[in-house]
Amino acid sequence: MFRFYHDIQKDYVPVVRALHMIEPLTSSTVLLVLVGLAAFAVAIIALRIAIKLAVRVGLVAAVVLAGLWATGTLELLPGV
């Protein structure tokens, strides 16, 4: 029914270990700035990849819709 303290404490061991792994990275101001720059760089790269993917999907959709319009089958789609 009730859990003992040491049972509850076992659940938090992975979280505490993860925090101890991050602590050396944030202990120094220089390292903290480097971690911030690395996170910023990863975010920029992810955004560039997302934009490229969105443009490609948009181009494919435009070609498919143009093909459907050209063949006259666009009216068969519901709601169009």
Integer Cα distance of 19 and 44 in angstroms: 26
pLDDT value at position 12?
59
* Tens-place pLDDT, residues 19-42: 666 666 666 777 778 888 999 999
The structure's pTM equals: 0.53
CB distance 25 to 35 below 8 Å: yes
Q: How many CA atoms lie within 13 A of 16 on its CB side?
A: 6
Integer Cα distance of 67 and 70 in angstroms: 5
Q: What is the mean pLDDT of the chain?
A: 79
Domain ranges of the chain: 5-76
Integer Cα distance of 68 and 77 in angstroms: 9
